[in-house]
Amino acid sequence: MSGKSEAVVGFIANLLPLYDDEQHEGLRCARSLIDGTLVLPVDESDSDDEQGWVRVRWQGDPAREQQTRGDMLASVALERYVRLHGAGYDEEAIAGELWYMARHFHFKTGCHVYLPQLREPPGRLHAAGRIALEMGQGLLVNFFSKLTGLG
């Protein structure tokens, strides 16, 4: 089996330390390191339009299994992953990283995450201007501190 479902599961399995790669029933799966939930690929080879569906065994329990769209599960996983790795960064930086990871997810799987309010981050020129402005503010504070004898 190969396709979108397997690509989605493989992507999620690489979101360490939230998920880890595991072999289960001869399939590459993603195991949640938080609660033991197991994400397995679904064979969509008979479908003309692969959606990237996955099987989810909540807390790893086969009796609590459901199928869901992998892009929806990945949306939640990516947001948690970026926030974990971006601890201490501002919301703009986190949004920028989330936008990048959403594009990377699409590149790897062919699926789109569901983040309807996420906007493309400003270009490099805008970021460079913001950094220069921030640096300029620091220079002004130093300049005025020296003028007033406080620095």
Total tally of structural domains belonging to the chain: 2
Number of other CB atoms surrounding residue 57 within 10 Å: 19
- % of residues, the chain, pLDDT over 90: 63
Tell me if 39 sits within 8 A of 33, measured CB to CB: no
pLDDT class of 47 with cuts at 50, 70, 90? confident
Q: Are residues 80 and 146 in the same domain?
A: no
Q: Domain range spanning residue 9?
A: 4-120
Which has the higher per-residue pLDDT, 135 or 4? 4
Q: Please give the pLDDT value at position 137.
A: 58
Q: Kindly report the CA angle at 48 between 45 and 49, in degrees rounded to 5?
A: 100
State the chain's mean pLDDT as an integer.
Answer: 86
Single pTM value for the model: 0.78
Q: Which of 43, 22, 20, 24 shows the shortest CA–CA distance to 32?
A: 20
Q: Are residues 61 and 20 in the same domain?
A: yes
